[in-house]
Amino acid sequence: MQSKTMANPYNPYGDDKVIAACSIFGMMDTSGRRFSGADVTRAIANMHDRGNGLGGGFGVYGIYPEHADKYALHIMFEDSLTRRDVEAFLRDSFHIAYAEEVPTRPARGIVNPPVVWRYFVSLNDRRPGDLTEDDLVVQKIMQINTTFSAACVFSSGKNMGVFKGVGYPEDISAFFRLDEYEGYLWTAHGRFPTNTKGWWGGAHPFSILDWTVVHNGEISSYGINRRYLEMFGYHCTMHTDTEVVAYAVDLLLRRHNLPMEIAAKVFAPPLWSRIDRLEEGSAERALLTTLRQVYSSLLLNGPFTVIIAHEGEMIGLTDRIRLRPLIAGTKGDVLYLSSEEAAIRLICPDLEQAWSPMGGEPIVGRLKTDKQRKTAPAKEWAVV
Q: Which of 22, 152, 236, 348 is catalytic?
A: 22
Which of 208, 154, 169 shows the shortest CA–CA distance to 22? 169
| Backbone φ, ψ for residue 142 (5° rounding) | -60, -40
Q: Coil, strand, or helix at residue 363?
A: strand
Helices (H) and strands (E) in the chain, counts: 11, 18
Sequence-distant (≥ 6) Cβ neighbours of residue 292 within 8 angstroms? 269, 272, 275, 299
Cβ atoms of residues 48 and 173 within 8 Å: no
Rounded Cα distance, 122 and 329, in Å: 38
347 to each of 70, 171, 330, 339, 365, how far by Cα in Å?
A: 33, 19, 12, 14, 19
Q: Count other Cβ atoms within 10 Å, centred on residue 151.
A: 21
CA 220 to chain centre: 18
d(CA 381, CA 331): 10
d(CA 291, CA 267): 10
CA distance 263 to 266: 5
In degrees to the nearest 10, what's the CA dihedral of 42, 43, 47, 53?
A: -50
Tell me whether residue 348 is one of the annotated catalytic residues.
no
Q: How many Å apart are CA 211 and CA 311, to the nearest integer?
A: 8
d(CA 156, CA 168): 23
Residues catalogued as catalytic: 22
